[in-house]
Amino acid sequence: MNRKLPAVLLSAAMAFVLAACGSGSGGSGGSGGDDGKITLGFSQVGSESGWREANTKSIKESAQTAGIDLKFSDAQQKQENQIATIRSYIQQKVDVIAFSPVVVTGWDAVLKEAQAAKIPVVLTDRAVDSDPSLYVSFLGSDFVKEGEAIGDWTLNEYKDATAPVNIVQLEGTVGSAPAIDRKKGFESKIASNPNLKVIASQSGDFTRADGKEVMTAILKANPKIDLLFAHNDDMGIGAIQAIEEAGKKPGVDIKIVTIDAVHDGMQALADGKINFIAECSPLLGDQLMDIVKKIKAGQPVEKRIITEETTFTQQQASEALPNRKY
């Protein structure tokens, strides 16, 4: 994470808190419960990908349907913004705080502040390494399992390989749970075949632009690449542009596997430019609102709630696309 001068950082954080205090979707400002509604303060990572945009839409629409007063803030992929926003929600005395943490570490202090204020916290999409007693529930995917699904496809695809298979990995945001866990799941699987070799692994920060930029550089340094594993669809799509500009055919000259299954990724899979996708559903809104209502009613909530997901081949993507919600 980039570190700025203390004065600049403090000024930016204060400005962000003021912005967060004024931001909302579906309700008036002020303390939670003033109008009888449940007030949920939600801090989103950012809008770095199609997945995140679908996730944000799901949360906003589900809150409106559930009659929950949602205070929403976009952290622009900066942890300091999320911490400032969470503190503003504590000051506003919201009923529940939920957030998708940009990175795994560094949350202890603000989570303890929420606990001291008796405001329950729910993690969505991504995990933290804090004491589990500091949050009520974690709703999201099993990122290790997603990486393992990609690894299983790779093992099967290259089971008859007698020569080295050169693999490039475009990782997500450094220090984020999905980047750590997807890499762990994938590499644990392919380790059983010594012919499968990761020759380059670099962060593309989950964005299409960075995926293209990083892949362009990797292509120049590595003339022979057999397989690209991108930790999300957007980086994979950016890499497709780089591969095409290098005069190669994505999905053929370089096979591509990704995670998410958002619309653009599924279209690329149906078109044969991506070879396989493991799903990571962004539609967490309804489940989150259900958790929030249970917490407010004093009902028990599961500590870990894993979303149901699948995988897609080219044919399955073609069949699913017409009715795809994201």
Domain harbouring 192, CATH code: 3.40.50.2300
Question: How many Cα atoms are found within 13 Å in the side-chain-facing hemisphere of 146?
Answer: 30
Pairwise CA distance, residues 70 & 25, whole Å: 5
Both structure tokens of 325: 């919600």
| Confidence band, pLDDT 50/70/90 cuts, at residue 34 | low
Range of the domain at 189: 143-280
- The enclosing H or E element of 184 equals helix 177-190
Angle between helices 50-66 and 233-245 (to 10 degrees): 150
Rounded mean pLDDT of 307-323? 95
CB atoms within 10 A of CB 231: 32
Both structure tokens of 174: 């450094």
Residue 252 lies in a domain: yes
Residue 119 lies in a domain: yes
Residue 274 lies in a domain: yes
- In this prediction, what percent of the chain has a pLDDT beyond 70? 89
Query: Do 99 and 154 fall within a single domain?
Result: no
pLDDT, residue 26, reads: 33
Q: How buried is residue 285: exposed, middle or buried, by Cβ count under 10 Å (0-12/13-18/19+)?
A: buried
pLDDT digits (tens, 9 = 90+) for 228-243: 999 999 999 999 999 9
Global confidence as pTM = 0.84
Query: Do 178 and 241 fall within a single domain?
Result: yes
Domain count, the chain: 2
Instruction: Considering only CA atoms, give the Rg of the chain.
Output: 21
pLDDT digits (tens, 9 = 90+) for 86-140: 999 999 999 999 999 999 999 999 999 999 999 999 999 999 999 999 999 999 9
Residue 157 lies in a domain: yes
Residue 296 lies in a domain: yes
Q: Please spell the DSSP secondary structure of 57-74, one letter per residue.
A: HHHHHHHHHHT-EEEEEE
Per mean pLDDT, which range of 18-22, 82-86, 252-256, 304-308 is the poorest? 18-22
pLDDT score of 298 more than 70: yes
Query: Do 123 and 77 fall within a single domain?
Result: yes
| Confidence band, pLDDT 50/70/90 cuts, at residue 27 | very low
Per mean pLDDT, which range of 30-34, 50-54, 124-128, 150-154 is the poorest? 30-34
Query: Do 88 and 217 fall within a single domain?
Result: no
Query: Do 117 and 158 fall within a single domain?
Result: no
Pairwise CA distance, residues 280 & 55, whole Å: 11
pLDDT digits (tens, 9 = 90+) for 154-210: 999 999 999 999 999 999 999 999 999 999 999 999 999 999 999 999 999 999 999
